[in-house]
């Protein structure tokens, strides 16, 4: 089984788990938080603009010791990438943009290593950094393996008072070599074109190319000047030459064949006819639903003004149209890409059974597309919440949940401690998900209100739903004062229960503070209001006493919505911000963003 989902830094995963020349297609859409302002990336961004959950990404795209380490990694690699990145450092200075390029370069080098000789890479970015990324990728893949700069219209409109509205993204398409897999895609012919170039015969359309000359002027001594099926072009002072436009729309690429071989192919397919009494062979072709115009490097939805020849979906490039705010496909990620966009890329550059890799898989559109198209897939993401979103999406979208191997998740105390040391925010989200919360809260820079997650439970007939809060501490300096503060938080929030989650076993003083909270106000028996859960104990099977939670996702969502129904209008999400699900701020907590557990959302949809 090759389907694999990795939680962790993609550079580490690529180096440790993905072998040389094992991948057929790479698609990547790396996040870059430019705060929707072009110039902000050319200076260092103040730390207080970041949120806790976004920190994993911002650490990557801000000039820090890690960015310096990545820069030196590229210098050690040497060659073209090192020379270009060094020149960019001299020209741009040490800022967020250079940090982004320094972090991306070793990842692109590793992705090149993992690709098969017949493989391709599609790098999704925006005009802010696409030109810098292109010269770096040229140095890794070679300019001769650059295939396209695809312009994709990512939105219907974007109001801008002092410039033209920016409405497109850029997708850089590279192959590993000249011998890469490719399947040409088409879109339906428009009626106006067909009425000019084709003649209707019953329910079919035949080309009006019967008068097209299948020869070129001048004699040739080679095979194109020889007699073909009784016709000698030399007698007319000409030679066989099939015009390239006559080859458009064929199911096979025959451009490499010799002229007589091309004509044999066209004759066998019925495109060249020879009737008794004809002075010269005639060319004709019938079009079907499968025929159409080859796709170009501009992917932009526009409604048809005159319709299509056959009964097809309305709109040019309708399959890659941007998603509207109420699109049924939308699951809440502000930068979620439409499934049709990934379908087009994967269908063009891979075949069934091929392996597709996405090292920044976010909400998992590439994974869902690969699964749908019967490809094998590998997804990597540094955010644990993204992993849970993908798992929920796979469960919802397919009748049978696809088989895959989940790697990088802590499986013992040692690995959990390592995660806490490396990334306290991802440890916080992982620890919360152990209890399958209905919502998780992200604290922006500022005063810590002590709430990391929320769960809801039925609390008996005639009573409102009970609320359980969680607080996660992954450091080594956890003590009774933190437990006491959380106990105060439960009182302030009028919550029935709370879980204080820490890495190591609590001290006696911490247990004393927890016991001071008394018993929970629930109908589920004697349950302590505040319980301490040590991850060290968790892996030994010592679990807290909890009321039933798993059957209430819809009720939980309703409760959450009621609590924020009167909230202030949310600020429009930054389309370049790191991708997280269902963000909205509490009216009383301007620095808090709440994220719905994707499993709860999926359950609500499925119901």
Is there a domain that residue 409 lies in? Answer: no
Tracing tokens 């990795």 back to the chain, one arrives at 6
CA angle 132-14-12, nearest 5°? 95
Q: What is the pLDDT of residues 522-544, one digit of tens each?
A: 988 899 999 999 999 999 999 99
Q: What is the CATH number of the domain that holds 326?
A: 3.40.50.150
Predicted local confidence at residue 461, as pLDDT: 83
Q: What is the CATH number of the domain that holds 588?
A: 3.40.1350
Residue-range definition of the domain harbouring residue 386: 4-185+322-403
Neighbours of 283 (CB within 10 A): 21
Is there a domain that residue 221 lies in? Answer: yes
* Residue 175, H or E segment: strand 168-175
Task: Say yes or no: 84 and 166 in one domain.
Answer: yes
Predicted local confidence at residue 566, as pLDDT: 43
Neighbours of 189 (CB within 10 A): 21
pTM of the model: 0.80
Is there a domain that residue 295 lies in? Answer: no
* Boundary (domain end) residue, out of 383, 403, 423: 403
Task: Say yes or no: 345 and 363 in one domain.
Answer: yes
Which pair of tokens denotes residue 155? 């939105």
Predicted local confidence at residue 270, as pLDDT: 79
Task: Say yes or no: 357 and 489 in one domain.
Answer: no
Judging by DSSP bridges, how do beta strands 146-153 and 298-299 pair with one another?
parallel
Name every residue whose Cβ is closer than 8 Å to that of residue 162 and which is 6 or more positions away in sequence: none
Predicted local confidence at residue 208, as pLDDT: 52
Is there a domain that residue 197 lies in? Answer: yes
Task: Say yes or no: 53 and 180 in one domain.
Answer: yes
Is there a domain that residue 292 lies in? Answer: no
Predicted local confidence at residue 325, as pLDDT: 77
Domain count along the chain: 3
Name every residue whose Cβ is closer than 8 Å to that of residue 299 and which is 6 or more positions away in sequence: 150, 151, 152, 153, 317, 320, 341, 344
Is there a domain that residue 546 lies in? Answer: yes
Task: Say yes or no: 282 and 348 in one domain.
Answer: no
* Boundary (domain end) residue, out of 403, 425, 448: 403
Predicted local confidence at residue 588, as pLDDT: 47
**Closest to 427 (Cα-Cα) out of 503, 485, 363, 482:** 503
Predicted local confidence at residue 198, as pLDDT: 65
Task: Say yes or no: 50 and 127 in one domain.
Answer: yes
* Boundary (domain end) residue, out of 378, 403, 428: 403
- Check residue 82 and give left, alpha or beta (phi > 0: left; psi -120 to 50: alpha): alpha
Q: Are 246 and 188 in contact (CB under 8 A)?
A: no
Q: Give dist(CA 247, CA 255) in Å, integer.
A: 8
Task: Say yes or no: 163 and 198 in one domain.
Answer: no
Is there a domain that residue 303 lies in? Answer: no
Which pair of tokens denotes residue 154? 């990512």
- The list of the chain residues with pLDDT below 50 reads 33-59, 210, 445-448, 551, 553-556, 559-561, 563-588, 602-607
Distances (CA, A) of 34 to 27, 40, 108, 338: 21, 6, 21, 22
Predicted local confidence at residue 47, as pLDDT: 44
Strand positions, DSSP E, 431-522: 439-443, 453-457, 466-473, 497-502
Is there a domain that residue 313 lies in? Answer: no
Which pair of tokens denotes residue 410? 């802590």
Task: Say yes or no: 198 and 133 in one domain.
Answer: no
Transcribe 298-360 into DSSP letters.
EE--B--SS-BSSS--SSBTGGGPPPPTT-TT--S-TTPPPHHHHHHHHHHH--TT-EEEETT
Predicted local confidence at residue 277, as pLDDT: 75
Tracing tokens 């207080």 back to the chain, one arrives at 48
Provide the β-strand partners of residue 207: 198
3-class SS of residue 174? strand
Task: Say yes or no: 430 and 398 in one domain.
Answer: no
Task: Say yes or no: 216 and 167 in one domain.
Answer: no
Task: Say yes or no: 332 and 221 in one domain.
Answer: no
Task: Say yes or no: 122 and 203 in one domain.
Answer: no
């Amino acid at each position: 089984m090759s389907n694999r989902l990795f939680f962790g830094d993609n550079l580490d995963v690529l180096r440790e788990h993905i072998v040389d020349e094992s991948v057929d297609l790479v698609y990547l859409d790396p996040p870059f938080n430019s705060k929707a302002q072009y110039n902000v990336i050319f200076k260092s961004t103040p730390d207080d603009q970041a949120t806790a959950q976004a920190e994993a990404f911002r650490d990557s795209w801000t000039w820090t010791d890690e960015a310096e380490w990545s820069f030196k990694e590229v210098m050690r690699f040497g060659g073209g990438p090192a020379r270009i990145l060094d020149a960019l450092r001299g020209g741009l200075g040490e800022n967020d943009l250079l940090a982004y390029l320094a972090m991306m370069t070793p990842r692109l080098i590793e992705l090149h290593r993992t690709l098969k000789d017949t493989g391709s890479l599609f790098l999704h970015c925006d005009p802010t950094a696409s030109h810098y990324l292109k010269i770096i990728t040229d140095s890794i893949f070679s300019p001769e393996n650059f295939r396209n700069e695809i312009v994709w219209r990512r939105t219907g409109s974007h109001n801008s008072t002092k410039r033209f509205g920016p409405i497109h993204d850029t997708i850089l398409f590279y192959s590993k070599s000249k011998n890469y897999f490719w399947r040409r895609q088409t879109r339906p012919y428009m009626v106006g074109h067909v009425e000019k170039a084709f003649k209707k015969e019953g329910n079919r359309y035949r080309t009006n190319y019967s008068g097209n000359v299948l020869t070129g002027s001048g004699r040739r001594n080679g095979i194109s000047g020889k007699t073909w099926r009784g016709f000698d072009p030399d007698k007319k002072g000409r030679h066989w030459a099939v015009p390239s436009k006559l080859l458009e729309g064929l199911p096979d690429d025959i451009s490499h064949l010799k002229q007589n071989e091309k004509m044999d192919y066209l004759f066998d397919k019925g495109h060249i006819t020879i009737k008794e009494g004809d002075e010269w062979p005639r060319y004709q072709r019938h079009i079907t639903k499968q025929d159409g115009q080859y796709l170009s490097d501009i992917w932009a939805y526009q409604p048809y003004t005159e319709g299509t020849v056959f009964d097809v979906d309305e709109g040019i490039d309708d399959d890659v149209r941007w998603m509207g705010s109420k699109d049924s496909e939308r699951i809440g990620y502000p930068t979620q890409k439409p499934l049709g966009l990934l379908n087009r890329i994967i269908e063009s550059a891979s075949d069934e059974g091929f392996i597709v890799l996405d090292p920044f898989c976010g909400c998992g559109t590439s994974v869902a597309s690969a699964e749908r198209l019967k490809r094998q897939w590998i997804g990597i993401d540094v955010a644990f919440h993204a992993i849970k979103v993908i798992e929920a999406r796979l469960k919802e979208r397919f009748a049978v949940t696809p088989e895959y191997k989940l790697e990088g998740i802590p499986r013992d105390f040692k690995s959990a401690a390592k995660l806490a040391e490396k990334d306290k925010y991802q440890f916080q989200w992982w620890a919360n998900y152990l209890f399958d919360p209905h919502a998780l809260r992200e604290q922006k820079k500022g005063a810590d209100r002590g709430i990391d997650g929320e769960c809801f439970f039925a609390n008996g007939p005639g009573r409102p739903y009970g609320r359980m809060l969680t607080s996660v501490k992954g450091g080594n300096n956890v003590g009774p004062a933190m437990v006491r503060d959380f106990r105060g938080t439960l009182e302030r929030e009028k919550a029935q229960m709370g879980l204080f989650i820490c890495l190591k076993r609590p001290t006696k003083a911490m247990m004393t503070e927890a016991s001071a909270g008394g018993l929970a106000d629930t109908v589920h028996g004697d349950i302590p209001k505040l319980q301490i859960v040590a991850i060290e104990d968790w892996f030994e099977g010592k679990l807290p006493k909890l009321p039933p939670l798993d059957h209430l996702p819809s009720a939980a969502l309703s409760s959450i919505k009621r609590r924020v129904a009167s909230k202030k209008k949310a600020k429009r999400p930054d389309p370049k911000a790191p991708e997280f699900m269902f963000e909205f701020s509490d009216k009383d907590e301007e620095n808090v963003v709440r994220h719905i557990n994707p499993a709860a959302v999926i359950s609500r949809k499925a119901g």
